[in-house]
Structures are given as structure tokens and as C-alpha cells.
Amino acid sequence: MYQRIAFTYLVTTAFLLGIGCGTEGQDAMQPRSSALSVTAASCGDGNRSADEQCDDGNTQNGDGCSSVCTVENGYLCTDAGFSLAFTEQWFVSGAVNPNWQLSADRLTVRQTTNSAPAVYMTNLPVGGAPLSFELAVETNSDDDFIGWVVGFDSGDTTNPQAEYMLFDWKQGDQDLGGGVMGLAGLAMSRVKGAVDAPKSGQVPFWEHSGAISEVARALHLGRTGWADRAVYRVKMDYSTSRIRVWVNDVLEFDQTGTFPAGRFGFYTLSQENDRFTLVSPVTGSICGLDPDADPDGDGVRTGDDPAPFDPSICGDANNDGVDDCAPTCVQVHLNDYNLFLLEDYNQGTDVQGKVAAGGNITMNHFSVGQGLPASDVANVLVAGGALTLSNGAVWGDARYGGNYSAGQDVTYVRGSASQGAPIDFATRGAELRQLSTRLASLTANGTTTRESWGGVMLRGTSPGVNVFEVPASALTGAKLLSIDAPAGSLAVINIRGASATFTGFGSSFSGGIDQHGVLYNFVDTTAISARGYGFWGTVLAPYAHVNFTDGSFDGGLYARSMTGNAEGHLNALYDREVCP
């Protein structure tokens, strides 16, 4: 796998070795005009004749190609196929150039080399009918990135005004060193401005940093890599107000907001033998939004809207007084479990509330659920795998998916143990990762100060939500974490870094806030080490393996796995609605 970090610069080319471009002129985006006459007998049959600007297989208006097969105002149309518009790459010293190859029928594009970050932009616009294509890596070698882009324009590698969407999928986790981590799974990111390649080489592409801001992880494939030689069918329904993506007919993204219009293209990074094949439509015209058009006449092209929004794209269809393109609110519900893990829980001890782990649970000298009301006995202890208990008590029902082992010294004070699978850990894990990503995208409105004596001081004044940005490195060797925020407010502490360490320091609250209103969101952390420390608030760390000894968490702890004897106390986070 290619890991070299080096200076980068733009390489743009109008042709590619091995691609036959002689027929591309007829596939260029068609100009808008109503002057052409149309043969009624052929319009709508999916075959564009010489006197048709477009033919998308129907005679409907409003989809880019009109009932008389002319291109509608604000749209672009092109013949189905992956004909080349242009290609660009970020040059990395010592890296091999990409080798894009277009098939004779223009339905398949291959990239054969282990190359620097690169895009192949087709003539296809987005924002019209859904687009379906196959994606595959036709080798057993390497485990890096493949994907696609929307809205990338020529020169965007160095354009400070660039804005486009990047969908990238990595096969395996990869540590580049220095705290840089590339995570397995499928992600959607927004790129705004030029990626700061001269300073950091490929780092922003690996960790989604700098100009690359991760919007969401796929609901089911967010931390699952692609498989060698597997063929994935991707369907994308894209508009400037909503993006939906299905992989093998399973919905993976459903995001609302404001998104750029433009062409559709493919992306690879350090991964050879990638294949992309158009599935639908393969005949007729594909129409989408013209990023250079201005259908509402506000003087702002579609590609730069909203401000104000194009009414042809956005508006208030449900008459709720809110523009349909406005960002949606984030629902925060993290109070159903005292400890919720996607994988294993080892060396567990006393937890006052409910405990669930998608893998195996091993507990000794323990108590689970003692702080719950006597009527709350359902699913107090849930293991997706094996459940192994000794010397302890469960104050409710226990469920397990694998083997069950409990000594005679284990008692059920108000409940019993039985086999079953009451929790869909995969779905809940995807929800937690998406919540973490959305919270990470909130704009910081609180101040963070790291004092020379070791104090990490957070101060917010909003009566609603106070968002703080804290690098994980600031917590190493800290002496105090101080949170000053109004009573009843929510403090979202976005902690960024591959690893975080909490050792032997305390926390203080002022301004009226308490642990019911504190949420520690570990955005991209994969390893948390805590010893002799107490988390006052709820921890959201869906990618992290937690090693936690001789401490406690006063609220919920939602993570990938946990080992250690830290105790869980019931001070749950209040339900919240966070609106950007």
C-alpha cells in the first residue's frame, strides 16, 4: 500500500493513455435551446436522434429532458456512458500516475495502478434521475481507497473556492504514524477549498482533515471495508437538498442539507485494479442540474446557490415555514444504557444501570442494574456473544446470543437469564457513528484554553448548546478539566485524535451545568486509555477500544469495546435536539 507523504501539485490532462476519446465530442453536454424541431414519433424512445437535444426514454417535463426532447432550463443532458470530461491528480513524489482505461462501449472505467489521489470526471451531470453503477476491486492486493465524487471542477485541486462531495471506501484500518489513521469503511465528505497537499501530502485524504470534512459514515458499511473481487451495485439519488445512496439495495446514506451541483466522477487513492461500470441508465440521455445555470434569475448560478436558494431546487413544500434545504436538527438520545459496546466487555465490575455488548461479556465480582427502578428489569445485561459471570448479582433479566456460564455465586435479584438477541448492534452502531459525525460537524461556539499548568478550560455562554473543539493531545498530562456553561445547557466536547489518555486528574463544573448536560464526543479516536479518572458526563466513542481502570463514568459510555474495572454510575444525559 502506498504511504509516502510528500509535496503535491496539480496535474491536469486532456487525454489518457489507453482511452479512446475520438467519439467524445458527440457526448458533450448539450446547450440549452428551444429552436430545434423534434420528430414526435421518435421522442421518448430512449434513442437520441439527430434532431433531438435529448431523449431520456419518456415524454415527461421537469426531469431535465422535456416532453418534446429539448433540454430544459437549468439542466444539462448527455448520452449515457462514462465518456471522459477531464482527469486530475494530486502529484505525490515517487507515486505512480493513475492509468484510467475506458471500454469501447464507454460503460466501464478501470484504474490499474497504485497511484496518488486522482479523479476521473465523466460528462454525466447529477441532480436528475438516479444513477446506478457497479464498483469492484479486481485484485487481492492492497486495502486502500476507491470511491466517487460529485461537483469536482477542473482545477479544484488548487482552487480555494472549490466545493464538491467525496465518497470514499477503504478496505482496512491503517495507521500512518504520528496520530494519522485511515479508517476502514464507506464515508461521505464535503471538500471545501484546496486540500492542503503541499504541507501534509496524503494525510488529509486518509484522515478526512483540513479541507476534507466528513459528513457521515454509511449506515451499515461505515466501518466495514470492501471485499476483494466483490462486486457492489451502488445507486445514488442526488439533489442539492438531499443525497441518498444504496449499496446492494441497502440504504447507506440519507442526508439532507445543501449540496453542490456538477459532474459525476470516480476517485482512487493508493489502490490498483479498480472497476466502475454503468448499470442504469445505459441508453438514452442522462440529465442533471447545470451548475452554471441560474433558473431563478437571482444572479447566482445553481452551483453557488443557496444564497438565496433556487426555488426550482429548494423551497417550503410542506409549508412549515422552514426552507426544505435548511440543515436538519440532530436528535441526541444516549440514556438507554449505562454502558453500551459494539464488541467485547472484559473485566467488568459494578455498573448501576444497564449493560450491553455486541460481542462477549466477562464479569467478576460485579453488580449490574442495582440503581434501576424495581420495575425496569428488561434487557438489563445483554451479550451478543458469550456471557461469562462469576461472583456477582444482576438486578433484572440477562440475555445472551452465544454460550452462557455463571457460577453458583451469581444471583438474579429480580430477573433471570435466557438466550436471545433483543438488540440489533449493527444498526445501533451505524446510528452512533452517524450521530458522532453530525455532532463533529457543529460549529464551535465555546472557547477552549490549555493553561501552562495543565488546566483544560472550557467556557460557553449559550443557554442551549455549547460546542467545544479539544485536541486529544491537550488531555495528555492534564491536571484539570474545567467546564463553565449555563444550567440546563448541553456541552458537546468534540475530541479529535487517534488516541486519548486520561490519567489521574479531576473535573470541575461551574455556571450551573452538571453531568446530565455534558457529552464527550470522540470524533475519530480509536484508542482511549483512562486510569484513576472519572468521566462526568456521557462518552460517545463509536470507533474506540477503551482501556479503563480504577475510575468511573457518571453517565452513559458508548464505545466499540472496553476492558477494565471502571464503575458506571447513573447520571444519564438528558434527551436533546441540536439544531445547527
CATH label of the domain that carries residue 183: 2.60.120.200
**Is position 480 within any domain?**
yes
Give the Cα separation of 116 and 138 in Å (integer).
18
**DSSP structural state of residue 26:** G
Query: In terms of domains, do 293 and 386 share one?
Result: no
**Is position 336 within any domain?**
no
pLDDT value of position 434? 83
Backbone CA torsion sign across 324, 328, 329, 334: positive
Query: In terms of domains, do 265 and 410 share one?
Result: no
**Is position 1 within any domain?**
no
| CB-based contact 440:398 (threshold 8 Å) | no
As a whole number of Å, the end-to-end CA separation of the chain is: 39
**CA distances from residue 347 to 185, 360, 567 in whole angstroms, order as listed:** 29, 11, 11
Give the Cα separation of 205 and 471 in Å (integer).
19
Query: In terms of domains, do 59 and 86 share one?
Result: no
Query: In terms of domains, do 63 and 107 share one?
Result: no
pLDDT value of position 39? 38
**CA distances from residue 396 to 352, 355, 378, 384, 406 in whole angstroms, order as listed:** 12, 11, 6, 17, 15
Q: Which of 551, 549, 553, 550 is nearest to 563 (CA)?
A: 549
Q: Please, is 342 exposed, middle or buried when counting C-beta atoms within 10 Å of its C-beta (0-12, 13-18, 19+)?
A: buried
Give the Cα separation of 471 and 475 in Å (integer).
8
| Helices assigned H by DSSP within 417-467 | 425-440
pLDDT value of position 256? 84
pLDDT value of position 309? 40
**Is position 165 within any domain?**
yes
**Residue at 355: amino acid letter:** V
Give the Cα separation of 273 and 262 in Å (integer).
26
22, 53, 73: which is the final residue of a domain? 73
Query: In terms of domains, do 28 and 42 share one?
Result: no
**Residue at 433: amino acid letter:** R
Q: How many domains does the chain have?
A: 4
**DSSP structural state of residue 492:** E
**Residue at 20: amino acid letter:** G
| CB-based contact 54:71 (threshold 8 Å) | yes
**DSSP structural state of residue 56:** -
Q: Which of 389, 341, 387 is nearest to 364 (CA)?
A: 389
Strands 145-150 and 163-170 turn out to be antiparallel
**Is position 321 within any domain?**
no
pLDDT value of position 197? 54
**Is position 403 within any domain?**
yes
**Residue at 163: amino acid letter:** E
Query: In terms of domains, do 558 and 519 share one?
Result: yes
Query: In terms of domains, do 258 and 134 share one?
Result: yes
**Is position 545 within any domain?**
yes
**Residue at 518: amino acid letter:** V
| Length, in residues, of the chain | 580
Q: Which of 163, 135, 298 is nearest to 240 (CA)?
A: 163
**CA distances from residue 368 to 381, 393, 404, 479, 538 in whole angstroms, order as listed:** 7, 7, 16, 31, 18
Query: In terms of domains, do 270 and 207 share one?
Result: yes
- 375 Cβ partners below 8 Å, 6+ apart? none
**Neighbouring C-alpha atoms within 13 Å toward the C-beta of 461:** 1
Give the Cα separation of 289 and 241 in Å (integer).
12
Give the Cα separation of 425 and 347 in Å (integer).
21
401, 419, 437: which is the final residue of a domain? 419
**DSSP structural state of residue 81:** S
Radius of gyration of the chain measured on its C-alpha atoms: 27
Give the Cα separation of 316 and 306 in Å (integer).
14
**Is position 5 within any domain?**
no
263: cell is 459532474
Query: In terms of domains, do 234 and 86 share one?
Result: yes
| CB-based contact 462:484 (threshold 8 Å) | no
pLDDT digit string (tens) for the chain, length 580 residues: 433 333 233 333 333 333 333 333 334 344 333 333 333 448 988 888 888 999 988 888 888 899 999 988 878 899 999 999 999 988 666 778 899 999 999 999 999 999 989 999 999 998 878 899 999 999 999 999 999 999 999 888 888 888 899 999 999 998 877 667 789 999 999 998 888 654 445 778 888 888 888 889 999 999 999 999 999 999 999 988 889 999 999 999 998 888 888 899 999 999 999 999 999 888 889 998 887 775 555 555 555 554 444 444 455 545 555 555 555 678 899 999 999 999 999 998 999 999 999 999 999 999 999 999 999 999 999 999 999 999 999 999 999 999 999 999 999 999 999 999 999 998 898 889 889 988 988 889 999 999 999 999 999 999 999 999 999 999 999 999 999 999 999 999 999 998 999 999 999 999 999 999 999 999 989 999 999 999 999 999 999 999 999 999 999 999 999 999 999 999 999 998 887 6
Question: Residue 295: is the preceding peptide bond cis (ω within 30°)?
Answer: no
Structural domain boundaries enclosing 381: 359-419
SS3 212: strand
Query: In terms of domains, do 149 and 257 share one?
Result: yes
**DSSP structural state of residue 30:** P
Query: In terms of domains, do 291 and 156 share one?
Result: yes
SS3 109: strand
Query: In terms of domains, do 287 and 148 share one?
Result: yes
